[in-house]
Amino acid sequence: MSALRLEAVSKIYQSGDDEIVAVDDATMVLGDDEMVALVGPSGSGKTTLISMAGGLLTPTRGRVTVGATDITDFSGKELTRFRAENIGFVFQTVNLVPFLTARENLLVVGELSGGGRAGRKRAGARADQLLEELGLGRRGSNLPAQLSGGERQRVAVGRALMNEPDLVLFDEPTSALDTQLGEQVMALIRSEVKGRGTAAVIVTHDQRVTRYCDRVLTITDGRLAEPVAAS
């Protein structure tokens, strides 16, 4: 079974009498524990493509299947629940809850899925483990405003991995990190993906990222090119 299947997916916006094609007839299949880098120039459709893959946008045409579930025709409510249980996101704007600590920003993900008292205990241990692995073991009680840009980015990575989702979508996860931290974060992402049978699509301009991935896909003017080997 594939972790993600996009079948002839397009996203078209209407602007007056004109049509703007953001993604044009894109087809992609992602294996259960596969990491794919998605590269391309600004405005090429990278973020639009992964937003459709994650159920944040509905395609104009085509079908989106995550795991065994075709989410193309899901209602907004169905998509919200499905995302919370099955998909992790890390976007450039990390969108941490400003009045929650770093640890609480991870824990709130677990609370959305329930699980009672035992679930909360497991979530606490999972949050502590991820914060430690991300080099934030001593920053768990800090609010986002008390963290650097790189630290906030790492909290967002931890939040995306918190519920051990089947699919994680990253938009420039190392953009705010220096070389050393970027390498550490990518090593953690790869370890989580490969160790837990999770799949990932990583939008990036950072060549450090591509060498951690199994494949590299290029998108230009909304069209996916044939994959090339990761360098």
| Mean pLDDT within 203-207 | 86
* Band (226; pLDDT cuts 50, 70, 90): low
Share of the chain above pLDDT 90, in %: 55
> What's the CATH number where 54 sits?
3.40.50.300
Q: How many structural domains are present in the chain?
A: 1
Q: What is the pLDDT of residues 39-58, one digit of tens each?
A: 988 889 999 999 999 999 99
Examine the pLDDT at 122 and tell me if it is beyond 70: yes
Share of the chain above pLDDT 70, in %: 93
Cα–Cα distance measured from residue 20 to residue 13, given in angstroms and rounded to the nearest whole number: 5
* pLDDT score for 42: 86
* Residue 52 domain boundaries: 4-229
Examine the pLDDT at 132 and tell me if it is beyond 80: yes
